Structure formats: structure tokens, C-alpha cells
Chains A and B, each alone.
Chain A
């Protein structure tokens, strides 16, 4: 009896390493060689923890590339552009003013401006695609979002180098102030969205999610032009720690995921309203189904919660080293706890009480405001150890 091939496929599920292709191994090799090169070249400047972080980053990059294939191309694009910029710079920051590529495209300031412009354009384009139903426009929007994420990351990478060019002493990883972390936030949220866009094969959410990113970009631009926040500042002593390199990015995976969940919540509410008003109308047909939205909302809150847990624990460990106590009820810490408790309550409601629907969507949206306060409001309105008032 002949069994059709495609049905037999269901019988054997190759284990994950059997599914890796030559390309995957090539990717791993590329990352490992690059990591090895970075290690051999900068070994003498790094302490044990930093070497650990370097190796950890290399491994994560390999795994990320295996898990999400387009991420490889993304990383390569970022690496090529960043290295190009860095090599043009050489050891002279002034070249940034003269060289065409640096001045208009690749210097961190320009790259970040490109990122900002592309994110805003992509937002509009996604909405255009949604309303016109034109697939090509949608693909353009995705391409713009990818490019924005590339430029944002290049901006950060180059900024990292630029900080060392200003002065060896001043050099540091660009996750040390609100300006820099807003860039990180924009690009992480963008990437997370792109991941789910491919997963769910739908671009309908793009405009909505990118609205949050555009808002972040607006803040970023205001902050740069009005407050001169883009100036690279030296690190205060409390921030001179390898902990910063892992604590901050982990936090922003959390923030990004919560922002994503909130915007999915918004779409959920729109869709629900659309279904009630006009079951064959625009909102009820063009937007993803509530089941899908609910699923995505849950997944991003779970992802955010997991990373936020890690980030908070890392923060506590850092605090133990810098301030002498892993928990001081400092406003920033406390607000992290509040955010965390909020989402813990959300997860319990959903998972064990089976709550679904509009209330959970509203809650996810409100969650973003709580998160926003923890992320921004605390810095603006409350003082504490995190503002480094004493030292």
C-alpha cells in the first residue's frame, strides 16, 4: 500500500539539529569566526564578565539566526554597514563631518535619523496597505521596517565606536541614557513585530504597532533637538558595570513586547467593535481574527514577562553590587515590580481563570501606560538612586 509522501512526513519529525541546513552551519561558522576575531583582538580590554558576555552574544546570535532565518541577513547588513562606517572613521571623529557617507548616511546621528524617517514612513505605508488592500504596498512597508531596524542598529553600533573616538575614557556601550534606550526600544519592538508578521503572515497589524514606535521616534527627535540628548556623555561611575550590558537590553525586550501586546490589544478592540457594528465591514474582515489577536497578545505578554523577570533579577544583582542591596525600594525598582505584578495578574486571569476578550485587551493597553510610567515617568517625576543624585 503506497502512502503519499507528504502524509508520511507527518510521521517523522526530525530533531532540530537535523533540520539545520548548510546555510545554518555557515551562519554559525561566520558568527563564531567573528566572535573569535573580536576576542583575539579585544581580549586585553575585557574582563572575565565581558568575555562571558561576548561569548554569550555570539551563541545567542547563532541561535537567533537558526530560529528566525531572516535575522541572519539582518545581522549581516548591520555588521557590514557598521564596519564600513567604522573603517571610514578610522581614528578621527572629524572625518564624520567631511565624508559623504558618514555625514549623510552612516554616522550614528544620520543613521538614527534614517531610522526615524523610515519608521514613520513605514507606519503610513502599512496603513496605506491596510486600506488599499494592496499587497505590494505592504511589502514596501515591511522593507521599510526592516531598513529602519537596520539603520537603528547601525546607528547604535557606530555610536558605540564614536564614543571611543571622542575619548578612550568616555567610550561605552550606547544603552546608558534615555536617548539611547529609546533607539533600542524602537528597533527591538520593530524586530519583534517583523517576527510575528512573518509568523502570522499578516501585515494588518503593522501600522498599529509602528504607531508606538513612531511615538517613540517623536520623543527621540524632540529629546535630541530640544535637549541636545544625542550628545555622547561620559558614564557616571554607577553605570560603569558589565551588568549594564545585559540588564538594559533584557529590559527592553520586555518593554518592546509589552508595547506590542498593547497595540495588539488596540487592534483587538477595533476588530471586536467592527464585528459588532458591521460583520462584513472593513474592521471585521481586514484585521486578523480575534482568536489570532488574542493568541499574539498572550504570546507577547508572556515573552515580555519572561524577559522582564530576567531583567529585574539582573537589576537586583547589579544593585547588590553597586548600591549594597539587591532591593532598596528605589522608585525605579518598585515600578519594575509594579509592572511585573500587573502582568503576573494578567497572566493568571487569563491562564487560570480563562478570562478572554475585551477586558484583557483593555488591560493590555492600560499595562502599556503602567510600563511607560516605569520606563519614562519615574525618570521624569520621581527621584531615587536611579537618577544618581548622590554620586
Chain B
């Protein structure tokens, strides 16, 4: 098997010959393929293009610096990665340039000039003498080769005649197609890459913007004009609004790319299957060319983009477009048993006052109409269910420290009991921890909030504690002094609990009791606390005219106590209950201009055609070398194929048998 790429450079040639030799060498090609593979692995294992802060948390500042310097956060645009790609392109080009002429020549070349000696050295060769005359043998050989679909050339020379049959030369063209295809793909990819932007960035003409400011305030250095030939950017457009820009991510920031047209999102729709899973995402778009005023209206969906000139607009994502929310703010350090009301919009900030926490900044960050969550149904099976709308917000105190919340609008069924659910976390990398507030019989928060208000009301708690102690004392022998002591303890414990949960009580115990008595004391205190909270609960039920409490009321009590016990960690002065909303969505569009696409497709086409030609066509040649003898002729039959030696063995044997078997051996 001749391997063209391994030919030595002609002796005496200088540096450039050695360089092309190196660039076109197989070893280099294979090393590059492997290097590219390994680099790609890095890019998939390390999550790409996240916010730098996330990387710092994950790897620590030291490794973060190193990884950043190596470009591992955006491997595919890192200079060393591009270097490998460029190298591969050069290497393949050199390889093609060097081999193609040989291949193309070889494709048509019958090799009539072979030496008998070299034919004898072939792996596939047979010779024998026959009675037939050379012309007769030649005739047979010609019939055989033509009958098998070979193209045939003949030569009569001094002392011998030669016939060559050849087929499958296309196989060689397959090599050219495949490797040219790869070069073409790489060129197409380069046309669509971020490389020009990177170059401009390195030369200081383009600077990534990091601030969260309106697009029209972004300075020119972070803008790209509408004639930029290639980009791929995103923009979120609320329903009823328009945009004529997209944002391109760059490092940790972004650039603003102007468009020669304006896109308006008239409507955005999510449709759902009966099971609640999303079925389609669609936007009704109006595109107006800013130069010609030409208008196009089209509905796009996932897998169905709008193509305008050489731009394409895709349905990429969706989000909130500033939904209006009606909120009830229930104080959690209550003076009131009624909530404050307010209206707010997603993406807007508000100030809420609070006696305990001071003024806080309320930043409403998101709203979701559907939440498909695993829910345990009444048969104990988990099923995916829509549990209704939710919204997210942050509460930032004066020191600038924020907690993030997610509140669900509707109470959620948890094994037959319904709860208002709110999640809280300190940073995006944490999981939400949930506060579950039991829903009362009227379907609201009123009973829980009233109970909370009672528990915070020191005077009232004192009164109830005293009444409860007197009741308990009726049967027991208890001095007034002991009674006072107990009722005061009860009051103090309830106040501690309401402000700081069980931990406050345990703290109190560990501060005021000797070590060996702590456990017993804690147990006793919790008992006293619970009889106190129960008394407060009963008292409240009486005030609310609920009547004799039943099992459900006691279940509510248990759930309420659980909720109260975690409230100190909730960190918000209010519980924000969503009462109503006007849903406004935003459609996330991706807008691209990719001049290299067709180039890449063309290259891919060449590649596929080439690969099939290379694999499934074998370039085969047979030589029939006939030497006249006194009686008949001596025949040498030899053959080569550039691939599939095993199949060729069979073919060679078959043809050899056919030819030699049709002749009469000379004695």
C-alpha cells in the first residue's frame, strides 16, 4: 500500500521542504486530531461562559486566575485552541496540496510502464506457462477484465505484451473530497466565529460592557454596527415592545449589536399538553426594515425561524416581560392582623419599611405562570403537576446584603394538607429552604397571622399564661408564688420562641443552667412552652369564634408551630402573598447572521461524499504480462488494491482461476 504522505523530501532541499514535510505529515495530523479531542473534553467538563464569580466560588481565586489565563472558561475561542484548529487547517491543506496531484494522476494512470520484476514482488501474483499464443491469451485477458467492468489498456513491447485493467479510481477522488471538505468546513466556521471581535478587542477597538444599563447608554466602544457580517446574539423583547439590537456575550460582559431592522413582539404564547408539559413556544413578530420600511409579519416557533435576507430570527427562550403583581404584605413581627397591599412589576425595585429590619429594597426579579413539580398525590405516588404561579424577589437591607425568595401563589397540597410555600436562600449557589405556612379553613393566611400576632403580643401572652396556670393549679397543690413563677416562665418562653424559635430557648437554657441540668431543663421548658402556645391557640380560636377545636384545628396548630419555629431564619419582615397578576411575557430571540453556514454545508457535503467514495470504492489494478515462448506463452498475473485486502484476496483468486483455467497449461 503506497502511502504518499510518508514520502521523504527530496535530498538536498532546504528548510521549506522540511517544513512542508512536517506540516503535511501524518504524525502531526494524528497528534492534532487527538489534541483537538482532548481540548474539547476540557470544554465540556468545565462549564463554559459562566459568571466569573461562580468560578471563584468553585475553584478558589488561585485556580481561577490560572484557568482564566489559560482561557479554560471559553476554551473554543482560546488562542491555543484556535491555534490547534489553524494548524489542523494548514496541515490538512498541505497534505491535500501535496497528495492531490499524485492521487489525481494515479487515478487515471494505468501503470503500463511497470517492470516484470516489480510485478513479481507484489503480494498478489501468479505465473504459469500455457499452450496458447500471446494474442489468444491477450484476447482472454481482455474479455475477462472488460467483463468485470475494468477499463483496459494494452501495450506491445519488445519481448512482451502487457494488459492492464483498472477500476475504482474514484476512490482517490474521495480522498480529495474528504480533505478539501474539512478545509472548507474550517473556513466556513472561521467566517462565523468570534475571531474578528476578539482581534478588535485585542487592539482595543472593542471593550466589553459590564454594567447593567439601558442599551442606548452603552458607549460606542461596546457597540457593533449593523454592517457586522457575522454575529449571533440574544435579546428579550416584552410583548408589545420592539428592539433593533441584540446582545453578544463577551467574556464576563456583553456588546450591543445594532440591527438594520426593528423587531416587534406582538404576542408570545406557550402552549401546554394536557399533562402540563410545554408543547410549543411561539412569537408573533413584526419585522420592519429601517432603511426600506418593508414590513414582514411572521409567527416563529422553536424549529421554525424567520429568515430575512441573511439574518435569521429564532425562538430561543422566554422570560418575564414585567408582569404586574398585586401583593399583600403580611407583617411577620405583627402589629397588624391585616396585610399592607401594594402593586409591583417584575424587574422593578421598591422600598418597604420595617420596624425590625429598617427600610429594605424589594427587587422583584421574576414571575412564572407554571411550575411543574413532583407532587405526591393521595395514593402516595409522585407525579409531575403544575402547582401554579410563583414569583421571585430579593430583599436587600441597608448594608446591601440580599436574600432571595420564591413565593408560590396557590397553597400546595402536601399529603392532604395545604400550605403557602416560600423558599429563601442567601445566594444563587444555594438550594432554597422552604417556609410552609398552613392554610386556614377559609383558604387564607388569616388564622396563622392572627396566631403569630397573639404570640408576639407580650401583654396578651402574659394574661393567657396566667389563666392557663390557674387552670392547671386547680387540681394540684400550688402556691401563688409557684403559680406566678410558672406563668412568668411560660410568658418568657413564648416570647423567646416567637422571636427566635426553639434555638432561642435552647440558648437560654445553656446560658442559665449548669451543664448537668440542661437536658432536663430543656425538656421541661419545651413542655411549658407547648402548653403555653396551646393555650394561646385555644384563646385565639375562642376569639375567632371557631368553637371546639377538632383534629384539623390541632393539625393546623402543629403546622403553625413548625412554621413559627423557622420564621426567625426567614429573614424577611413580611410574607409577600401574591393576590393577583397581569401576565406580561417576553420572548427571548436569538438573531444571527452567519455567512459561513452555506460554506460549512458545502464542505460537509464534500466530506460525506468523499468518505463514502473512499470507504466503498477500491482502486484496483490487474496486470497481465505475457511473454511469448517457443510453444505458447508465459503469463504473469498480478494485482493490487488500495483497500480491503481480504476482499481483494477473493477477487484475485477468482479472476486468476478464471483466466488460467480457461487456458491450457503447457506440459
By a beta-carbon cutoff of 8 Å, the part of chain A in contact with chain B is 1, 3-4, 7-13, 15, 167, 169-170, 233-234, 236-238, 240-241, 243, 291-292, 295, 299, 302-303, 305-306, 309-310, 313, 316-317, 320-327, 329, 331, 334-335, 337-338, 341-342, 344-345, 348-349, 351-354, 378, 382-384, 390-391
> A338 contacts B148, CB within 8 Å?
no
**Given A13-B147, A324-B590, A325-B592 in contact, is the A313-B43 Cβ separation under 8 Å?**
no
B522: CB under 8 A from chain A? no
Binary interface profile of B, 240-280, with partner A (CB < 8 Å = 1, else 0)? Answer: 00000000000000000000000000000000011101111
> B275 contacts A7, CB within 8 Å?
no
B472: CB under 8 A from chain A? no
> A341 contacts B76, CB within 8 Å?
no
Q: Which of B5, B305, B604 contacts A316 (CB 8 A)?
A: B604
Chain B hits for A309, CB < 8 A: 607-608, 611
Binary interface profile of B, 32-64, with partner A (CB < 8 Å = 1, else 0)? Answer: 011011001101110110000000000000000
**Distance to closest chain A CB from B525 (angstroms):** 47
- Chain A: CB-nearest residue to B594: A325
The 5 closest A-B pairs by CB, nearest first: A10-B658, A324-B314, A237-B302, A324-B590, A331-B44
> A11 contacts B147, CB within 8 Å?
yes
B655: CB under 8 A from chain A? yes
Chain A to chain B contacts (Cβ below 8 Å), 29 pairs: A3-B662, A7-B661, A10-B654, A12-B147, A169-B273, A233-B277, A237-B281, A238-B302, A243-B303, A295-B645, A302-B615, A303-B615, A306-B611, A306-B612, A309-B607, A309-B611, A323-B316, A324-B232, A324-B305, A324-B592, A325-B592, A327-B189, A329-B76, A338-B40, A341-B33, A353-B3, A382-B44, A390-B317, A391-B317
Binary interface profile of B, 531-551, with partner A (CB < 8 Å = 1, else 0)? Answer: 000000000000000000000
Q: Which of B277, B592, B664 contacts A234 (CB 8 A)?
A: B277
**Given A327-B189, A329-B48 in contact, is the A338-B41 Cβ separation under 8 Å?**
yes
Binary interface profile of B, 317-333, with partner A (CB < 8 Å = 1, else 0)? Answer: 11000000000000000
Chain A hits for B6, CB < 8 A: 352-353
**Given A345-B34, A353-B26, A382-B44 in contact, is the A324-B654 Cβ separation under 8 Å?**
no
> B281 contacts A8, CB within 8 Å?
no
B667: CB under 8 A from chain A? no
Chain B hits for A353, CB < 8 A: 3, 6, 26
> A234 contacts B273, CB within 8 Å?
yes
Q: Which of A8, A305, A324, A345 contacts B662 (CB 8 A)?
A: A8
Chain A hits for B314, CB < 8 A: 322-324
Range, interface on chain B: 35 or more
> A236 contacts B144, CB within 8 Å?
no
> A354 contacts B303, CB within 8 Å?
no
Chain B hits for A310, CB < 8 A: 608
**Distance to closest chain B CB from A12 (angstroms):** 4
> B615 contacts A348, CB within 8 Å?
no
Q: Which of B301, B594, B601 contacts A317 (CB 8 A)?
A: B601
> A391 contacts B34, CB within 8 Å?
no
Chain A hits for B26, CB < 8 A: 348, 352-353
Q: Which of A237, A306, A329, A345 contacts B279 (CB 8 A)?
A: A237
Most buried by B among A170, A309, A337: A309
> B658 contacts A342, CB within 8 Å?
no
Chain A hits for B647, CB < 8 A: 295
Most buried by B among A4, A10, A238: A10
CA of A334 to CA of B37 in the docked complex: distance in angstroms?
A: 9
> B143 contacts A348, CB within 8 Å?
no
Q: Which of B1, B47, B280, B646 contacts A354 (CB 8 A)?
A: B1
- Chain A: CB-nearest residue to B232: A325
B377: CB under 8 A from chain A? no
CA of A327 to CA of B317 in the docked complex: distance in angstroms?
A: 18
B338: CB under 8 A from chain A? no
Chain B hits for A383, CB < 8 A: 47
Q: Which of B278, B302, B304, B662 contacts A7 (CB 8 A)?
A: B662
CA of A145 to CA of B236 in the docked complex: distance in angstroms?
A: 53
- Chain A: CB-nearest residue to B615: A302
> A313 contacts B604, CB within 8 Å?
yes
B149: CB under 8 A from chain A? yes
Known: A10-B657, A292-B646; 6 extra A-B contacts, CB below 8 A, are: A234-B275, A236-B278, A309-B608, A313-B604, A326-B601, A341-B40
**Distance to closest chain A CB from B304 (angstroms):** 8
**Distance to closest chain A CB from B527 (angstroms):** 45
> A9 contacts B44, CB within 8 Å?
no
Chain B hits for A384, CB < 8 A: 44
- Chain A: CB-nearest residue to B36: A341
**Given A322-B303, A334-B43 in contact, is the A354-B279 Cβ separation under 8 Å?**
no
CA of A234 to CA of B272 in the docked complex: distance in angstroms?
A: 10
Chain A hits for B453, CB < 8 A: none
**Distance to closest chain B CB from A232 (angstroms):** 11
**Given A169-B273, A322-B302 in contact, is the A237-B36 Cβ separation under 8 Å?**
no
B312: CB under 8 A from chain A? yes
